[in-house]
Structure 1
Amino acid sequence: MAPHIVVVGGGFAGFRAARRLARTSRGRARITLLNPTDYFLYLPLLPEVAAGVLEPRRVAVSLPAALPGVRVVLGEAVHVDPDRREVRHHDPEGRAGVLRYDRLVLAAGSVNKLLPVPGIAEHAHGFRGIPEALYLRDHLIRQVELAAATDDPAERAARLTFVVVGAGYTGTEVAAHGRLAVRELLRHQPALDGAQVRWLLLDTAPRVLPELSPRLSRTADRVLRDRGVEVLTGCTVAEALDDRVRLTDGRVLPTRTLVWCVGVRPDPLVEDLGLRTEQGRLVVDEYLTVPGYPDLFACGDAAAVPDLTRPGRLTPMTAQHAVRQGALAAHNVVASFGIGRRRRYKHNDLGFLVDLGGPDAAANPLRIPLSGVPAKAVTRAYHLISLPGNRARARVAADWLLDVVAGRPATGFGLLPDTSLKAAINAR
């Protein structure tokens, strides 16, 4: 019977691993991908979905369509037993299932990082998937509409104050795109002509985008401030309430919008394994194999991969590393069956890209610092190349063009709680 290879997770690492396995195993193995959704999410473009630049399906690539020869099982992995070679999971309807494997690629990815800040879990908006991006889009539209409808200056000011916590890639892009999105929405609200809109970006770090060079960080900071975003470094939220937040410097900001982009942590599945971890990530060797378990591989955000270019350190949790680790994990899985020779993971970062909305971006491809239109061109070209499939690329390019020539729609999707079916029925 053909060996069974199971890939847990359909993010950057898992998707690339499954795709490479399907191509290199040459039909000599059964490949199963376990993922909670039937699509691969291209996360870097999610802020543009929230801003209304891209339609949500543009960043979602169908797994069955993109992975011919791979069986896609919808479900959430809840436990891995490496001794019995089993993955236990729950499907979308809560039914339990078990996948038995000969080789396992653990690419479970990461989840939002919640800090012990009072009120965050109850009042902050996360930003990790399409539902959250669409919810934020609806929320921004709702706040602008309610601000236009009220005659209370204090309420209007609170509804037009938007707070983003976390000045890494996601938070910076959410603040940059969100500011432009709200500016576009205000064009359809004459009652708000001249109204003050506040966007604040908070982080305990001393500068925005601390992962980047100081030069690129300054570029992003300048663009944000020129656009009217207030950048508060060395500061974060101490308490969140329904209608205001209290900052660590003592200030209180009346607001109805708090977006939480503080960072991510490895999926809890990693801790459940009971194996050795580092910084919360599953320890693997340079071949992406878990010590003591030659049939268990891990890659992406879930894996503590040694960085051979910087001895003693781990590779960062970025999409760039996840993609390459997924491909190498697939190669080494196939090599474990005697097809080819396994390789070590060694990769230098090729640079970073941050899309700041409009004509602005910051990038350092091949360590060449760029800003403005050149950086924007490089950033969009990179995303088009990285998106799987020509149809997805064409549709994203078309949406970008439409945003320039026709603007973006000012309608939401009715995802806010009080627009539910139950609320509609009760209102009659």
Structure 2
Amino acid sequence: MVRPRILVVGAGFAGVECIRRLERRLSPAEADITLVTPNSYQLYLPLLPQVASGVLTPQSIAVSLRRSSRYRTRIIPGGAVGVDTEARVCVVRKITGELTEHAYDYLVLAPGSITRTFDIPGLTEHARGMKTLAEATYLRDHVIAQLDLADASEDEAERAARLCFVVVGGGYAGTETAACLQRLTHHAAKRYPRLDPGQITWHLLDLAPKLMPELGDSLGRVALDVLRRRGIQVSLGVSVAKVSSTEVTLTDGRVLPSRTLIWTAGVAASPLIGTLGAETVRGRLLVTPEMSVPAAAGVFALGDAAAVPDLAAREEGAICPPTAQHALRQGRAVADNLIATLRHQPLRPYVHKDLGLVVDLGGTDAVSKPLGIPLRGLPAQAVARGYHWSALRTNVAKTRVLTNWLLNAVAGDDFVRSGLTAAKPPTLREFEYTDTYLSADQVRAHMAALRATG
């Protein structure tokens, strides 16, 4: 008998958790499993700001997919750029740029999300995100390069512009990025005798009236006080009007001479979702509580790219937020439903009550809300780092992260650039490869051409 072909797209929390559960609970004779991902590692996204600030090395949070003792999944090095649900074919662009087609019997879509951008002049050309390992590594190099160049400059205007850093987005990613990188520049300034630490300015902007409203008013104010005590200028109800290579113009009319704009103002579902021609909710693929895609036989979707109904929420019609906590549990639930499908058993809806939130602001500063209990300072930091450490999938990753934390706490940072800063740095689109996807029409044309050639 021909074994069913299970194709999983995406090696984030949802996709990897699904793969691992399938490997544990399915025998090799029951199905062939294939994973489409550009990199053979799972990126632990919540710790990216600590890579950007040099607390952790990039390798620490890139967890190898090939370390599992049960590893038997075939990995295709590339990105899914289109899906033909009628032909049950996924179009993949390999890392070489070559387009290939992979047939499936069951498709698990966990392509994740990309940085959400708006039609702001100069934004996509001059802003940098915090979504990939390459972006975090680049940002560290870039920030240290600005200190180096400011220290060497005799022009006061240039020096001020290089020492002005702007972060847009008052959610977890933006707040943690601003907090961690501000600590980096604060400590680095001691190594630059020609720089006045008072000249280094950090701005955190968000259109919302509150910082991280999910934390609640009390903890949100604590986080705001921590940032302002460190000298970070937080502007709420404000965003960016336009950007150039030398300045950032804000919606309140202010113009900030700056060479650094870090954009973390939310995420959008992967462009892959648009190639299916299926119904969406707020840009995310509409799925049933069992995470199957209506009118697309054999297709499941989960994680940031899917509008999974939140059955544990109080309000009707709620969908699960795009968090690692939900993605992990959805991965397990989809794997169980896939196995149930193969064994002709009933599927189960996804239900999970949120366990709380953790925000690491670096050093001894943090705010956390585990199981609804508000914490701040060292207790919150212990909970935040304990949660992240326990969520790392392998003992090797846990050892690396713990060693990095201890070493950084004892020895600090050397503020060394890795040499990745290029004369023309990649844009947001180039970092996240958002221009590589096909449209729904292009997918149909590609498949028609294949059928015509036999």
TM-score range, shorter chain: over 0.9
**In the TM superposition, what are the counterparts of 1:199-278 in structure 2 within 5 Å?**
199-278=202-281
Q: Distance in 1 between matches of 2:163 and 2:196?
A: 13
1:42 aligns with 2:44: yes
Aligned to 2:18: 17
Distance in 1, matches of 2:346 and 2:67, equals: 30
Matching of residues 84-163 of structure 1 within 5 Å: 84-163=87-166
2:65 is matched with which residue? 63
Amino acid at match of 2:209: P
Q: Aligned runs of 1:292-311 on 2, under 5 Å?
A: 292-310=295-313, 311=316
Change in CA separation of 1:130 and 1:118 when aligned onto 2, cut-off 3 Å: same
Task: Look up the match of 1:26.
Answer: 27
Query: Is this contact kept in 2: 1:103–1:296, CA < 8 A?
Result: yes
Q: Which residue of 1 aligns with 2:340?
A: 335
SS in 2 for 1:342: coil
After superposition, the Cα gap between the structure-2 partners of 1:194 and 1:304, relative to the gap in structure 1 and judged at 3 Å, is: closer
Cα deviation 1:207-264 (Å, max 9, x = unaligned):
1112321122111111101111010000011011111111100011111111011111
In 2, Cα distance between the equivalents of 1:419 and 1:246? 22
Which is worse superposed, 82-91 or 60-69? 60-69
| Larger mean Cα displacement after TM superposition, 286-295 or 198-207 | 286-295
Deviation of 1:94 (Å): 1.0
Aligned to 1:72: 75
State the shift of 1:36 in Å: 1.4
Shift of 1:340: 5.2
The root-mean-square deviation of aligned C-alpha atoms, in Å, is 1.3
Task: Name the counterpart of 2:326.
Answer: 321
2:400 is aligned to 395
Task: Please report how far the alpha carbon of residue 341 of structure 1 lies from its aligned counterpart in structure 2 after TM superposition.
Answer: 3.9
- Give the deviation of 1:24 after TM superposition: 1.1
Query: Which moved further from structure 2: 208-217 or 154-163?
Result: 208-217
Q: Deviations over 1:264-285 (max 9, x none)?
A: 1000110111011111111110
**Residue 50 (structure 1) shift:** 0.3
TM-score under structure 1 normalisation? 0.96
Aligned counterpart in structure 2 of residue 384 of structure 1, from 389, 394, 411:
389
1:408 is the counterpart of 2:413 = yes
Tell me: CA distance 1:278–1:419, structure 2 relative to 1, closer, same or farther (3 Å): closer
Q: Distance in 2 between matches of 1:47 and 1:409?
A: 17
Alignment check: 8 A CA contact 2:85 2:297 kept? no
Q: Which moved more, 1:302-311 or 1:238-247?
A: 302-311
Asked if the contact 1:148–1:192 (Cα under 8 Å) also holds between the matched residues in 2, the reply is: yes
Contact 1:64 1:72 in 2 (8 A): no
Match of 1:423 in 2: none
Structure 2 counterparts to residues 359-374 of structure 1, below 5 A: 359-374=364-379
* Structure 2 partner of 1:344: 349
Provide the C-alpha distance between the structure 2 equivalents of 1:366 and 1:129, rounded to a whole number of angstroms: 29
Distance 1:350 1:393 in 2: 22
| Partner Cα separation in structure 1 for residue 86 and residue 155 of structure 2 | 64
Give distance in 2, aligned partners of 1:294 and 1:212: 39
Alignment correspondent of 1:198: 201
TM-aligned CA deviation for residue 119 of structure 1: 0.8
**In the TM superposition, what is the alpha-carbon distance from 1:409 to its structure 2 partner?**
2.2
Separation of aligned partners in 1, 2:373 and 2:213: 18
- Are residues 192 and 314 of structure 1, via their aligned partners in 2, closer, same or farther at CA, if it must alter by over 3 Å? same
**SS state at 1:208 partner:** coil
How far 1:339 sits from its partner (Å)? 6.4
- Post-superposition, which runs of at least 4 consecutive aligned residues in structure 1 deviate over 3 A? none
1:417 has 2:419 as partner: no
**TM-score when scaled to structure 2?**
0.90
How many Å separate the matches in 1 of 2:243 and 2:299?
A: 42
Alpha-carbon shift at residue 419 of structure 1 (Å): 9.6
Shift of 1:135: 0.8
Paired AA for residue 118 in structure 2: L
CA–CA separation in structure 2 for the residues paired with 1:418 and 1:294: 48
SS at match of 1:331: helix
Q: How far apart in 1 are the matches of 2:114 and 2:33?
A: 25
1:136-168 deviations in Å (ceiling 9; x for gaps): 101111111111111222221111110000011
1:58 and 1:341 mapped to 2: Cα distance?
A: 40
Partner of 1:3: 4
Post-superposition CA distance 1:260-316 (Å, at most 9, x none)? 111110001101110111111111101001112341100001111111123211111
**Residue 194 of structure 1, CA deviation:** 4.6
**Residue type of the partner of 1:372?**
G
- Contact 2:186–2:197 at 8 Å: present in 1 too? no
Q: In structure 2, what is the Cα distance between the partners aligned to 1:69 and 1:216? A: 45
Query: What is the SS of the residue equivalent to 1:343?
Result: coil
Per the alignment, in what secondary structure is the counterpart of residue 91 of structure 2? strand
Q: Which of 285, 288, 292 matches 1:282?
A: 285
Structure 2: where are the runs of 5+ without partners?
Answer: 426-454
Residue 353 of structure 1: aligned partner? 358
Q: Which amino acid aligns with 1:97?
A: T
CA contact (8 A) 1:79 1:89 kept: yes
Q: How many angstroms does 1:193 deviate by?
A: 4.0
Where in structure 1 are there 5+ consecutive unaligned residues?
421-428
